[in-house]
């Protein structure tokens, strides 16, 4: 089928809950993908940071195939031969005592909300049904009811109310406001992204995360880091929190935890927090299934064995330098860490970011705007210097007609 025919079928039969860039991807390998007509593109979005290990990494594909031939699902009603060994591997990998496996990033966020409330009631002594969770303004934790109730985007709750109660917000990066909010003894947790990805790749002020750690410890509030988009090497460190050498009480992982090959997410915490959960408190039919565990283990092995954290730091620095040197028209700022980067346009730019994404597509670059004035560039962590340079050449060509 042609790209046009495939898009027409999705428009006719699919729910209209996305507005994708009009391009169809039929095949992928590494950083490159192809449409049904055979045109090649450089993927500078990575499935919104999920395909960190590159498309169809042979080790991941092999792990999926080998496990699928043995056992795919048994649910947590029984023990599997995969979950225990993987739980040991991932906890030692990130330096935590316990892991709770789910499937998607937003499920990890939901899990953290439940875990924080349970800890708040049973460990901190918050009165029943009065626990609050503090979030940062401009956040994006997903699209479930709890996640959109925690959002500060005006459109997030429109026609979806009433909002779930118990969420408070504070400006991202504002330590004085955070300290004032944390005086509320009913706050169980502060959930924050180390870098706000969907918010436009917004970096916090230097020292912010260290101060968050200090304030949360002083106020007996859980520091929950949503590293679903920023974790596993994306920002040039294993976790984005590592830039300030802070250790959150709870870490949320997803996306490239499986290299984009299979839905896998995880919540990491130590015994005093995680063991707030008792049997029956939380779970998922597919969470921690054998296939997910087998794939996720190999995904993490690839990151370590192939030096993808270091490559992300190196190639990301090159990407930002080349984009800045290109002096792209009407660009106010190039920012980011590792391979999570953004180009933000001036307020009076004559073209929208979404329109420029079409020009990028026409020039063989796949990217997506996160706001009307921001385009995110987040290629797979396996990208090499030659592909960075080729990508920047195509970006410059796409931007050239903008006056």
Active site residues: 140, 226, 255
Tokens (6 digits) for 67 = 């496990």
Our CA dihedral for 111, 147, 133, 151, rounded to 10 degrees, sits at 160
Nearest to 306 by CA among 342, 264, 259, 240: 259
Angle in degrees, 0-180, between the axes of helices 58-68 and 290-305, rounded to the nearest 10? 160
CA 330 – CA 374 distance, rounded (Å): 12
Contact 39, 364 (CB under 8 A): yes
Q: What are the distances in angstroms from CA 166 to CA 134, 146, 196, 250, 284?
A: 9, 10, 22, 19, 24
Distance separating alpha carbons of residues 364 and 32, to the nearest angstrom: 10
116 and 250 Cβ atoms separated by less than 8 Å = yes
Number of Cβ within 10 Å of residue 1's Cβ equals 11
For residue 65, give every residue at least 6 positions away whose Cβ sits within 8 Å of its Cβ, in sequence order, or none.
none
The candidate with the shortest Cα–Cα distance to 326, out of 303, 343, 304, 348, is 343
d(CA 274, CA 184): 23
């Amino acid at each position: 089928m042609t790209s046009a025919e495939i898009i027409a079928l999705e428009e006719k039969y699919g729910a209209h809950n996305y507005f994708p860039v009009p391009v169809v991807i039929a095949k992928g390998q590494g950083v490159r993908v192809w449409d049904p007509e055979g045109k090649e593109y450089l993927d500078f979005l990575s499935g919104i940071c999920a395909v960190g290990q590159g498309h169809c990494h042979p080790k991941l594909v092999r792990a999926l195939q080998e496990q699928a031939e043995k056992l795919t699902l048994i649910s947590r009603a029984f023990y599997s031969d995969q979950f225990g060994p993987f739980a040991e591997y991932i906890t030692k990998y990130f330096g935590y005592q316990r892991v709770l496996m789910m499937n998607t990033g937003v499920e990890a966020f939901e899990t953290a909300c439940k875990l924080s409330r349970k800890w708040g009631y049973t460990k901190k002594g918050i009165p029943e049904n009065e626990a609050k969770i503090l979030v940062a303004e401009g956040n994006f934790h997903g699209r479930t009811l709890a996640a959109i109730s925690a959002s500060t985007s005006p459109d997030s709750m429109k026609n979806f109310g009433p909002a779930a109660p118990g969420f408070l917000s504070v400006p991202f990066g504002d330590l004085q406001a955070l300290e004032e909010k944390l005086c509320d003894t009913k706050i169980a947790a502060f959930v924050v992204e180390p870098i706000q990805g969907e918010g436009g790749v917004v970096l916090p002020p230097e020292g912010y995360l260290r101060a968050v750690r200090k304030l949360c410890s002083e106020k007996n509030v859980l520091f929950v880091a949503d590293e679903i988009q920023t974790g596993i090497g994306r920002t040039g460190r294993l976790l984005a929190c590592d830039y300030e050498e802070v250790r959150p009480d709870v870490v949320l992982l997803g996306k490239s935890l499986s290299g984009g090959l299979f839905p896998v997410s995880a919540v990491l915490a130590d015994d005093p927090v995680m063991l707030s959960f008792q049997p029956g408190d939380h779970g998922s039919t597919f969470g921690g299934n054998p296939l997910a565990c087998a794939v996720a283990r190999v995904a993490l092995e690839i990151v370590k064995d192939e030096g993808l954290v270091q490559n992300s730091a190196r190639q990301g620095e090159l990407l930002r330098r080349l984009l800045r040197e290109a002096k792209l028209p009407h660009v106010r700022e190039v920012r980011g860490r590792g391979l999570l980067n953004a180009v933000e346009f001036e307020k009076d730019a004559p073209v929208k970011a979404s329109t420029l994404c079409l020009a990028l597509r026409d020039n063989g670059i796949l990217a997506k705007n996160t706001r009307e004035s921001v385009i995110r560039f987040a290629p797979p962590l396996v990208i090499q210097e030659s592909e960075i340079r080729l990508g920047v050449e195509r970006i410059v060509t796409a931007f050239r007609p903008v006056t």
